[in-house]
Structure 1
Amino acid sequence: MKTPGNWKRLVWSLRRTPGLQFRAFVCAIFVCYSVCWAVIEPALTIVSSQDQSVTANANGWFKYLFFLALSFVFGAAYFLWRHLPPASVSFLLDNTNTRVSVAFNDFFAEAGHKVIAVNDFFDGQLGDVISERSLHGQFIQRFLGGVAAAFYGLVDPTLPNLAAPPIVRSQGRKKAYPIGTTAVAELNSTKYFFVALTTTDPTTHKVHADVPQLWQALHGVWSKVRECAGGFSVAIPLLGGGPSGVGLPDVILLKLILASIVQETKKCRITDEIRIVLHPDTAEHIDLRDVVRDWS
């Protein structure tokens, strides 16, 4: 999973706001045209006054087209420099001392501890129960060889004891935990915060979540991060996207995560840095410049 390239991010930005980007491009060319004219025209005038042959051989239309082409080149370069959407941003969250970084990247390639959403049963069986495409499934496949028992060995020691009766299911575990329950497991010096986000249909194994559940899960995981992260940076994906089925646009999910950080930080500091890691495909819908403008 690669970070989207410069050209791809630029094309997506042009698609989001074509009118605004076109006006900015025209203004950039006009500014560079004015600068080129102001700098080069006096120089040509001085040369012409010293050597009349230069003036005699110079063609007015050629000079004009030269200025126009030069302005276009410099204008395009200036436009790209000013308007190319960044692949990552970092800023202090407004009215807090918490640094937030947002980046398009492979989640597991990010440094620091990590938050991963799971279903309410904390299942570990890949296939019908846990999708291998989810981060939950990718973790089990990538780090535990796809072995469910290895996952249970990591999370069970930190899960609370529940007195609730078992739930009848054809596959998977029988004990469901409240949304927001968070298990903390350490693997290769990295702490993983597995937070219950979705409820699971006991028959079809399909998971789903809504906005109140997302908010409750964020509250639960931030409380556990505050307790166990030790001030180190923590990476969190775009919770509520993908198989969880919250059904909101990516940009709204990002705003909900940022709002939850603000709310929890005002209660008590969570950790020094929180890294929100977005799937590279979400760059088509999210402009990180807007994030910095609205939240810093």
Structure 2
Amino acid sequence: MLKHLLKRFVLYAFATYGVLWTLVESVSAFNEAWKISGTAAYVTLVLCSVAAGLWRAIPRSSVDIAVPNSDSSVSIEFGDIFKKPGCVAIQVNEYFDSLLGNHISTNSPYLYTQLIEHVSPIS
């Protein structure tokens, strides 16, 4: 996870630096009075790039996805589903995976098995 965050930080920091540098050079090409130079300007450019990299690399706690051709959206939140207030919808197939055998056990990876354990502990 840390490697992924570092990779995102570096990617967005360098991308922001490149965009800002391109804008500065483009603006200064048209008017010499607008030319930005010196240590303070460079440090400002680097600090803006680092801030943008940090802002984009921080993991999100939720993601909203708009459903095409409707006014609906799907909100995906990261965390413990059993500690969230309100109603929770858990998707299952029409067969409820009953062909898998003893799939209701305390160490089962299925979310609905964990829900059954949370609501009514399996003995």
Q: Same fold (TM over 0.5)?
A: yes
> C-alpha root-mean-square deviation of aligned residues, in Å?
3.9
**C-alpha contact 1:29 1:72 (8 A) present in aligned 2:** no
2-structure distance, mates of 1:22, 1:78: 6
Instruction: Give yes or no for contact 1:31–1:75 (8 Å, CA) kept in 2.
Output: no
Query: Unaligned stretches of 5+ in structure 2?
Result: none
**C-alpha separation between the residues in 1 aligned to 2:22 and 2:90?**
47
Cα distance, 1:78 vs structure 2? 3.1
Select the structure that is richer in strand.
1
CA-CA distance at 1:9 after TM superposition:
6.4
Give the C-alpha shift of residue 74 in structure 1: 2.0
TM-score normalised over the length of structure 1? 0.28
CA deviation vs aligned residue, 1:144-185 (integer Å, no higher than 9, x gap): 1224xxxxxxxxxxxxxxxxxxxxxxxxxxxxxxxxxxxxxx
Equivalent position SS for 2:89: strand
Whether the aligned pair in 1 keeps the contact of 2:13 and 2:53 (CA below 8 Å) is no
1:30 has 2:30 as partner: no
Count of aligned pairs between the two proteins: 107
TM-score normalised to the size of structure 2? 0.55
Q: In structure 1, what is the equivalent of residue 89 of structure 2?
A: 114
1:97, distance to aligned residue in structure 2 (A): 2.8
Check 1:80–1:72 CA distance in 2 against 1; reply closer, same or farther (3 A cut). Answer: same
**One of 79, 85, 105 as aligned partner of 1:126:** 105
Quickly say closer, same or farther: Cα 1:146–1:12, change in 2 above 3 A: farther
| 2:61–2:78 CA contact under 8 A, matched in 1 | yes
**Is the partner of 1:102 in helix, strand or coil?**
strand
Q: Which residue of 1 is the match for residue 47 of structure 2? A: 73
State which structure, 1 or 2, has the greater radius of gyration over its C-alpha atoms: 1
Q: Is 1:11 the counterpart of 2:12 in the alignment?
A: no
Does the Cα contact within 8 Å between 1:124 and 1:140 map onto a contact in 2?
no
Classify 1:11/1:143 alpha carbon distance in 2 versus 1 (closer, same or farther; 3 Å).
farther
Aligned to 1:166: none
Seq. identity, %: 17
Q: Return the alpha-carbon distance in structure 2 between the equivalents of residues 86 and 11 of structure 1.
A: 15
